Structure 1
Amino acid sequence: MNMQYDQYGQALGVTVDNWQGATPPQRVTLQGRSCRVEPFSRQQHGAGLRAALELDVDGRDWAYLMPRPQTDADWHNWFGMMEDSRDPLFFAIVDQTSGQAIGSCSYLRIDPVMGVIEIGWLRFSPLLQRSVAATEAMYLLMRQAFDWGYRRYEWKCNALNAPSMRAAPRLGFTFEGIFRQARVNWGRNRDTAWFSLLDSEWPANRAALEAWLDAANFDAAGKQQRSLDECRRALAAQTQQDGVRLATLADLPQLTPLFDGYRRFYGRHDDAATSQDFIRQRLLQGDATILVYEQAGELQGFTQLYPLFSSVATAPVWLLNDLFVAAPARRDGVGRKLLLAAGELARQHGVARLELATAHDNLAAQILYESLGWQRDVAFRRYQLALN
């Protein structure tokens, strides 16, 4: 996939080759080791699911989804809706040993044309919560969605729902932000948190989930040997290739302190929240190209490129507005590698030249730039007009 640009040097988007849409979800059974996920049937699953959910005696687990059913009619109507609905498309999570439904879930907001699908309406009984089966059920549903060809797998929740906010990143989702005042639920405001998992991220996430779910990861008492995060880090260390690459939203946690360090270098106060929001917007909107240098899973530096247009040259140019390397890596040639990669990427996109500005007293950077062929502008004076 390559970023496409118009004649003005404006980024138009990354190409999606041979896209023909995804397969609409089917009512299939997904078989795991500790559980299976089956199309919901009121007759087959209703009694067992109700019994499991009623183990939540005080009703606290219903706080963010819907009012708790109180009567037989409430349960009957809810289960009838689940059985009849196709979007959401509901499934029961069934314990492999007992055969009892111990939770439910659904695919929803299903858009095969655009390749987007969401997992939601999660009802985990006390029998399912914090169990191997809970993670395995989510893995089975993820795997099936990507096997059907979906490009984007979404997780949304009430931003006040702390367990759901923790579960999403644990399962490999990337936090994208909060839609403020997204809904009014039962007379109360709901801010909705958005998370996503992309098809390009699925292979690595699948490997981590499968490593954690492997029977060898649990002792005779069923206790995990390694956490899911530890499995993820171990696999990343095995497959990680050091070097320069394009940044993604998954890099936001490490990229934010680097960008904040760059801003502090130029006299700004420490402001991680502003730095994170700025970088997140650049990655979401695609109006800048960010290159990062990674070593052993850690980001060591970055540079950011903004598309411009030269009227005199009648050609696109890129502004290399940011270059920053973490202090421990500044003698390892990271800045040089980032600059060389930026130049090569610009040449691939037909950019006429790169431009940058640096502080007069930043002598180390000036030496680096000039060693790579950058020339100081002696023909033009640069001016700025401060607007705020």
Structure 2
Amino acid sequence: MPFQSLRAVFLLIVTSVVVLSSMTGRFAYAQGRLSELGAKKATNRESYRRHQTIFAPRDQDIKQISQSPQVPEVLDAEAREALGIPPQLLESDDSWSESEDECLECETFVPLISHKRATANVTWLPGTGDDLGIFSLSLSEALELPRYEGFTITPRFGVHYLDGPVRTDLPARVYDTSVAFRWFNKFNEKWSYELEVAPGVYSDFKNVTTDSLRITGRGLAYYMHSRSKQFVFGVVYIDREDLKLLPAAGMIMWFSEGSRLELIFPKPKFTYRIEKSEARERWLYVAGEFGGGSWAIRRAGTAVDDVVTYNDLRLIGGIETKHTNGMVSQFEIGYVFNRKLEYLSNNGNYDISPTGMIRYQLTF
């Protein structure tokens, strides 16, 4: 009986030890797992803090910095317009700031051709008797090719109504028709260039031969020294019977935001702004101009085919109004001198007396 009691006590002790050992192991295991989970949570919290600090700060904004090269803005709006430079060639490229997801949602269609601007021009040089009078109307439409940056196509049409002279047999009207192909491109931030070729027919449409075909054009280089000074070098090909080529050289200077001097042969110009508002700007200017043209004609008296060339020099004063919707109007008055009329046959050449000029031009 005592032996059985001792045995029962021993079994109770052994059982208690086994149970306690099992519980201790499970507790240690659970404690280890808790420690491990706590460490992982701490690590995740630290990573999340770092993630938040880099990408999503709540108390400050992170400014994204472009790593792509940027073209410095060396020309203001007036400079670009004076040089005829497409604005997109000088604007900074911000395409780096758009994510791929955003670009997938962007409008990807690029038209083959689009309207850039249209110009209508009316010019009157009064004249009677032997003083040749000319009333001219011209229209042009500049078309852009967005897929070919800097490339434009400009068809032009003009008609000149001739008043006199009685001493020679000019037709009543002569016409200008042409299509200009122009390309502007940049070498780098300082240098750019412009090329243009414009085949056309200049005739009274009675003498339409090889004599009526003229190909004009120009090749110019621009050096952008600073925001206040630009240089221009090149040639202008006018393809007239008496004169084929003119040099084009000079500089453009900005004295202030509202004044500009273009010392460029053959068209110098000084412009001064007199008004600026939210709706429009007004500019006064004085300019010089080399005018005239060559046309293949059929002489009214003899029905003989010939080519006539008219040349003049013009001193012009004008006012230009620029509207915020892109429309630009110009009204000019001028003094026209050194006027000459010459024929290819040299039959009927003479000098014409000076006259005045009134011109209105609308660009939209």
TM-score category, normalised to shorter length: under 0.3
**Between Structure 1 and Structure 2, which shows a larger proportion of strand residues?**
2
TM-score (ref. length: structure 1): 0.21
Instruction: Compare the two structures and name the one with the higher helix fraction.
Output: 1
Q: Which has the larger radius of gyration?
A: 2
